[in-house]
Structures are given as structure tokens and as C-alpha cells.
Amino acid sequence: MQEKPRGGLFSRLSKTRENLTSGLSGLFGRGVKLDESLYEEIEDQLIMADLGVEPAQRICNALRDRSKIEKPESAEALLAILTEQISAILEPVEQAMDTGQQQPYVILMVGVNGVGKTTTIAKLARRLRDEGKSVMLAAGDTFRAAAIEQLQTWGTRLSIPVIAQQHGSDAAAVAFDAYQAAKSRNIDVLLIDTAGRQHTHGDLMEQLAKMARVLQKADPELPHEVMLTVDAATGQNALSQIEHFKTIIGVSSLSVTKLDGTAKGGIIVAIAEKFGLPIRFIGVGESMDDLRPFVARDFARALLPEKLGDK
């Protein structure tokens, strides 16, 4: 049996796993009885853990089919099948970021207020730098002077250049100038910060579209990636955020933050099922090393216990 990622992702997803475990323990407390009521209860528990209705139905339908063939005789055997079914949903969105396609590779970072977007940018910049890539940051959140200062502080800490203008400047102009600077300096990756905005604010969302249009005047392929940061703790609301941003700016990838502090980590399964967008990274803590590439199998194994009572 493959070792669980204890001390790592397994421990960071404890709140979600304990939420699921408490519900599943009651179902399997008197042994496994493979009847329709059991499958319905499992489906309910998965939905309550924010996996979403459609993923829960899909998982339980597969569980029914496999159980007829394999006839699991223990709760652990049934949990192992559950893990495999969750992995099957997540595997298509496990796609590593390839920044070697273009130089500079331009990533527009977007998200609503408070999701940890700027911190995610800093962690991603550090990761790319440590991989040997040259990185530049652009302070495209010109609505808040504090946001510009925050990104400049990160740039100083990481020894990464930051392109910024004064508070209130045109964010699209900052993005355009940063691209020109990155191109002239042969930078590998340009990360462009944007103002946090609620997905329901149409005028602010349109400003994101403007940033993309202005960048495309320099190169029609820009930005190469639009990465949306969502907070796992928002649960099902994350789905509406993705839908709105996808409509306005054409989201091409996701980072999901704050998974360590919520019992709603199952939302990643709902996101994968509904959108199929690559999940590049997950945030599982405060340290710089806690932004990790998304690995479907590891996530599925950390989401569920291998045996009941194992938290």
C-alpha cells in the first residue's frame, strides 16, 4: 500500500477529511451493507463536504457498479474505491504549467477580494525563481496604494523586479509597460497582479478585459494564461466566481487557496467536474512552500481516510 502523505497534504486537509469521516463512520459503524440506502447516504455526505451534486452522483454510480463486481467486504475496501473514483474526476485537471512556450510567458492573475491572490503571486514567483527562471512582477492593482507597496515589498524580499506606477494609474498601461520591460530584459515569466474585485461588479470586471485588450496590441496571444485564484472556504460560491471571470476574461487555469483552514476542500472536485480547467496550484498554509502543484491522486488520498477513525 502506498504511504499516505502524512505531515504534508494529508495533515493539511484534516478539516475536510474529519468532516467526511464523521459522516461516513456512522454509515459503516455496523459493517458494510451494500444496499441502496448506503449509496444514498454516501452521496449525501459527499455533497455536504462540498463535492457538488453531479460529482457525488457520478462517484456513487461508479461505486454501485464496482461494488457489484468487486463486492468489498470492509469499510476500508469501499473507501479505497471512493478514493479511486474521486481521483478519476480530478486527474484531467492535473496539468502542470509550461512557461517555456513563450518568452516572456505572461500570466494575468485575477480573483475577488481576500482570496490570497497577491500572496499566491509571491509564492509562485519564488517557486519559478527557484526553478531557475527569471521573473518580473507587475503591480496592476492600482486602486490601492497598499497593494502596490505589498508587491514591491515581495519583490525586494525575493530579489525580483517589480514594474509599478503611482496609485490611480491606468492598470492596462502598467501591464503594457511591464510586458515591454520584460521583453527587453529577456525575462522568462511576467506575473501581472490585478485589483481584487467582486465578480458581480461589471465595471471593474470590464477593466480586466481592457487589460487583456491592451496587452494584445503588443502580441495577439497575450496573456498566455489567465490564472484565477479562488478561496476554498467560499465553497459553492467559488463556482459562480469562476463562471463570471470565465465569461469576462477567459480564465485558463486556477489556483485554489486556504485548503488547510476549511472543511470545504471537496469544492475542488466540484470545480473539476463543472469546468475542467487546469488546477495549477493549491495553497495549504502560510509559508512560501505551501503553494504546491496540484496532484490529483495525492489530493484524493488526503481527502479521505484509508480507514475509519484515521484522521
Report the SS3 class of residue 139.
Answer: coil
The answer, yes or no, to whether residue 310 has pLDDT greater than 60, is no
Torsion angles phi and psi, residue 2, rounded to 5: -70, 140
Share of the chain above pLDDT 90, in %: 57
CATH of domain 105-294: 3.40.50.300
The answer, yes or no, to whether residue 226 has pLDDT greater than 80, is yes
Could you read off the pLDDT of 238-260 as tens digits, one per residue?
A: 999 999 899 888 999 999 999 98
Query: Distance between CA 75 and CA 187 in Å, rounded?
Result: 53
Q: pLDDT class for 5, splitting at 50, 70, 90?
A: very low
Q: pLDDT class for 31, splitting at 50, 70, 90?
A: low
- 105: enclosing H helix or E strand: strand 105-110
- 280: enclosing H helix or E strand: strand 279-283
Torsion angles phi and psi, residue 191, rounded to 5: -105, 120
Could you read off the pLDDT of 52-99 as tens digits, one per residue?
A: 899 999 999 998 898 888 888 777 788 888 889 999 999 999 999 999
> Hey, how many other C-beta atoms are within 10 angstroms of the C-beta on 308?
18
Is residue 170 left, alpha or beta, with left meaning phi > 0 and alpha meaning psi from -120 to 50?
beta
Q: pLDDT class for 163, splitting at 50, 70, 90?
A: very high
Instruction: Note whether 88 and 273 are within 8 A (CB).
Output: no
9-93 and 105-294 have identical folds: no
Where exactly are the structural domains of the chain? 9-93, 105-294
In one letter, which amino acid is 139? A
Cell numbers placing 116: 490570497
Report the SS3 class of residue 262.
Answer: coil
Q: What is the pLDDT of residue 4?
A: 47
Query: Distance between CA 198 and CA 218 in Å, rounded?
Result: 28
Task: Tell me the mean pLDDT in the region 113-120.
Answer: 91
Could you read off the pLDDT of 245-300 as tens digits, one per residue?
A: 998 889 999 999 999 888 788 999 999 999 999 999 999 988 999 999 999 999 99
Q: pLDDT class for 308, splitting at 50, 70, 90?
A: low
Q: pLDDT class for 225, splitting at 50, 70, 90?
A: very high
DSSP symbol at 84: H
What is the rounded average pLDDT for all residues in the chain? 88
CATH (one of 3.30.420.40, 1.20.1260.10, 1.10.10.10, 1.20.120.140) for 9-93: 1.20.120.140
The answer, yes or no, to whether residue 211 has pLDDT greater than 80, is yes
Model confidence, pTM: 0.90
- Overall size of the chain counted in residues: 311
